[in-house]
């Protein structure tokens, strides 16, 4: 490729400059790469076209999964008129004669209707007797003992006086207040959180229909990679194997194992041809070096290249291939930040579709400092959120993870760059929701959550 200066920009911009943005130059003709927005849309379409596998699982096994169908109420909630307080059920105007006998407790069937002028003790959560006008909480009522009541026993035969005005319906939760049978409580594609489990249980569910997580196999290429110890003799540590498994799981995938296949074309062919995963993610070997085997292996397999290079820095050699009607391969470049760029550009939207998840609301934030742009390509730059600003981080070169490890997200810098105050799209990292500091709402809100 005849763009040494532009590629050099990526390295130079590992330290973020403050120069004013340059205007985008026209793309040289004949370039085959896909634009960054197109690549994301293509990956999302490929994932969204798949038919998700659905499984009915007991509530306890559904946590973190995606609802395959809407959650509709199997009952009215509450399913009967319920007392909201411990106190007295009363009918008609007071004072009321206290009905002798047991209190009305939670968990019991219907009790006899309440005639006007009568009160009966009732517990929070109990079914209110038919014809009850209101519930008066204990502290708002005064019970006058009847004859024969012993101290410490429930008064009976005495009278009940309200200390405050009684409003009809007070402290009664009417049947169906929260929902009616058949109401849609949550749409399909909702993530099953602990709160969803609670709601599903309250609404009568024993099990939930959820989308089976897509299975992803990670193949780490490269003979130069060590799995332990300090880099030596030209060998380096594998930074991607330890990162990609948990990252892909955070995106809703099942990742049984990360395999290292070295720079062996036959081993790569065998691994890809024999996989039963929905998605194979490879790292390294996407460029045109002597041991870059991803393209030749895909050709031998007859795979269809949906994306072959993306106009994004770092990570432009990333690719997306269809292996069979329902299996995909995402080739991530070997440089670690370039691999993350491929993960967010291609693997994330593809997996979102395969996992049945909804697209997140796009999130934008103003960038505090000017950011150099690539002349033709989008740049992804690690940023932290500070007082409503996205602040670009240093150490953002293609081979570096130092900036990313401190980041809250990646800002998409358009071709030509950004000036201070420009609103940029921010890609959240899957863990930022739990670590982000409270944010004074930026212009468009929603980032880092």
Ligand X SMILES: Nc1nc2c(c(=O)[nH]1)N[C@H]1C(S)=C(S)[C@@H](COP(=O)(O)OP(=O)(O)OC[C@H]3O[C@@H](n4cnc5c(N)ncnc54)[C@H](O)[C@@H]3O)O[C@H]1N2
CA distances from 10 to 14, 32, 312 (A): 7, 20, 11
Interaction between residue 379 and ligand MOO (CB under 6 A): no
Q: Among residues 353 and 398, whose Cβ is nearest to ligand MOO?
A: 398
Please report whether residue 119 would count as binding ligand MOO according to CB under 6 A. Answer: no
The residue whose two tokens read 């948990």 is 246
Residue 398 is a binding residue for ligand MOO (CB under 6 A): yes
CA distance 331 to 309: 10
Q: Does 414 bind ligand MOO (CB under 6 A)?
A: no
Q: Which of 87, 315, 373, 417 binds ligand MOO (CB under 6 A)?
A: 315
Q: Least distance from C-beta 197 to ligand X, angstroms?
A: 37
Distances (CA, A) of 284 to 155, 164, 292, 336, 347: 81, 75, 7, 9, 15
Contacts of 107 (CB under 8 A, 6+ apart): 125, 126
Shortest spacing between CB 414 and ligand MOO, in angstroms: 17
Q: Which of these, 433, 448, 428, lies nearest to 388 by C-alpha position?
A: 448
Residue list 355-414, contact with ligand X (CB under 6 A): 398
Pick one of ligand MOO, ligand X, none as the site partner of residue 143 (Cβ within 5 to 8 A by kind). Answer: none
Segment interacting with ligand MOO, rule: CB under 6 A, options 312-320, 358-366, 409-417, 424-432 = 312-320
Judged by CB under 6 A, the residue of 313, 357, 368, 376 near ligand MOO is: 313
Tell me the three state secondary structure of residue 435: helix
Site map (CB under 6 A) of ligand X, residues 236-275, x = contact: x-xxx-----------------------------------
Give the C-alpha separation, 351 to 369, whole Å: 33
| Residue from 282, 335, 345, 432 binding ligand MOO (CB under 6 A) | 335
Choose the one of ligand MOO, ligand X, none that binds residue 254, judging by a C-beta under 5 to 8 angstroms depending on kind: none
Kindly tell me the burial class for residue 148, based on how many C-beta atoms sit within 10 Å of its own C-beta (0-12, 13-18, 19 or more).
exposed
**Residue from 94, 222, 252, 356 in contact with ligand X (CB under 6 A):** 222
Interface mask toward ligand X for 316-345; x: CB under 6 A: xx---------------xxxx-x-------
331 binds ligand MOO (CB under 6 A): no
DSSP 375: S
Asked if 97 and 77 count as a contact pair (C-beta separation under 8 A), the reply is no
Of 262, 378, 370, which Cα lies nearest the Cα of 311? 378
CA distances from 280 to 138, 294, 345 (A): 64, 12, 15
Per CB under 6 A, contacts with ligand X among 146-205 are none
Peptide bond into 95 cis (omega under 30): yes
What span, in angstroms and rounded, lies between the C-alpha atoms of 401 and 112?
71
Instruction: Figure out which of the listed residues 284, 314, 349, 409 binds ligand MOO, where binding follows CB under 6 A.
Output: 314
* Of 76-84, 159-167, 218-226, 428-436: span binding ligand X (CB under 6 A): 218-226
Does the footprint of ligand MOO cover residue 373 (CB under 6 A)? no
Residues that bind ligand MOO (CB under 6 A): 10, 313-317, 333, 335, 338, 398
């Amino acid at each position: 490729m005849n763009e040494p200066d532009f590629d050099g920009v990526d390295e130079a911009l590992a330290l973020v400059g403050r120069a004013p943005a340059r205007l985008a130059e026209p793309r040289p003709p004949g370039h085959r790469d896909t634009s960054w927005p197109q690549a994301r849309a293509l990956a999302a379409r490929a994932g969204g076209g798949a038919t998700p596998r659905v499984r009915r699982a007991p509530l306890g096994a559904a946590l973190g999964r995606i609802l395959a169908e809407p959650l509709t109420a199997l009952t009215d909630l509450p399913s009967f008129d319920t007392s909201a307080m411990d106190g007295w059920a009363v009918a008609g105007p007071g004072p009321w004669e206290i009905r002798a006998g047991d209190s009305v407790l939670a968990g019991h069937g219907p009790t006899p209707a309440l005639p006007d002028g009568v009160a009966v003790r009732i517990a929070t959560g109990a079914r209110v007797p038919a014809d009850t006008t209101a519930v008066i909480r204990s502290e708002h009522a005064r019970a006058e003992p009847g004859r024969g009541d012993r101290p410490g026993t429930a008064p009976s035969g005495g009278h009940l006086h309200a200390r405050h005005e009684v409003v009809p319906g007070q402290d009664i939760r009417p049947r169906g207040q929260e929902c009616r049978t058949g109401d849609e409580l949550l749409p399909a594609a909702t993530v099953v959180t602990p709160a969803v489990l609670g709601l599903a249980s309250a609404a009568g569910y024993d099990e939930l229909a959820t989308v089976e997580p897509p299975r992803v196999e990670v193949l780490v290429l490269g003979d130069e990679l060590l799995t332990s110890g300090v880099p030596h003799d030209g060998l380096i540590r594998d930074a991607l194997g330890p990162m990609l498994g948990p990252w892909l799981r955070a995106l809703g995938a099942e990742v049984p194992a990360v395999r290292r296949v070295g720079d062996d074309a036959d081993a790569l062919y065998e691994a890809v041809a024999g996989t039963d995963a929905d998605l194979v993610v490879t790292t390294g070997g996407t460029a045109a070096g002597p041991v870059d085997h991803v393209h030749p292996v895909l050709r031998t397999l007859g795979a269809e290249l949906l994306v072959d290079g993306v106009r994004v820095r770092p990570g432009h050699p990333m690719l997306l291939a269809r292996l069979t009607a329902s299996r995909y391969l995402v080739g991530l470049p070997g440089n670690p930040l370039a691999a993350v760029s491929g993960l967010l550009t291609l693997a994330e939207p593809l997996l979102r579709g395969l996992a049945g998840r909804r697209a997140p609301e796009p999130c934008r934030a103003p960038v505090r400092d000017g950011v150099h742009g690539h002349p033709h390509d989008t740049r992804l730059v690690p940023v932290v959120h500070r007082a409503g600003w996205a602040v670009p981080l240093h150490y953002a070169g293609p081979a570096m993870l130092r900036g990313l490890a401190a980041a809250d997200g990646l800002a998409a810098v358009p071709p030509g760059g950004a000036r201070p105050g420009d609103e940029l799209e921010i890609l959240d990292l899957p863990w930022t929701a739990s670590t982000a500091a409270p944010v004074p709402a930026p212009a468009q809100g929603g980032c880092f959550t």
